[in-house]
Amino acid sequence: MEKTIVKAFRMQLKPGFEVEYKRRHDEIWPELSGLLVNAGLLEYYIFLDEQTLALFAFQKLKAGDTTSELAAFPIMKKWWDYMADIMDVNADNSPQAFALPEVFRL
């Protein structure tokens, strides 16, 4: 069985953009999806807390993934620019993401 890595993090959606956030992800660009898969993403889930608008993300990655290098790709930067108006972002428009430590696994 191939070793995998699990990462979880939290991001923040701006008020009033719940439907738009889902629409944009339902229409994710194929070249971006391909880049994520090629970087080692096996599974990627994002959940919305409708009360706080916190986004909880969960990723399952191949061992040796290259997701830390995604920021160097123009299509990734283009996606960040596209999403910057509806979520909290850093100066480079990357989403503000806060790592969540694992506290339990069954």
The set of catalytic residues is 25
**pLDDT tens digits for the chain (106 residues)?**
679 999 999 999 999 999 999 999 999 999 999 999 999 999 999 999 999 999 999 999 999 999 999 999 999 999 999 999 999 999 999 999 999 999 999 9
**Residue 2 confidence (pLDDT):** 72
**Residue 44 confidence (pLDDT):** 98
Instruction: Give me 4's structure tokens.
Output: 């995998």
Three-state SS for 23-58 is HHHHCCCHHHHHHHHHCCEEEEEEEEECCCCEEEEE
Question: Per CATH, which fold does 4-99 belong to?
Answer: Alpha-Beta Plaits (3.30.70)
Burial class (CB in 10 A: 0-12, 13-18, 19+), 9: middle
**Residue 102 confidence (pLDDT):** 95
**Residue 40 confidence (pLDDT):** 97
Q: Which residue has the tokens 């503000």?
A: 96
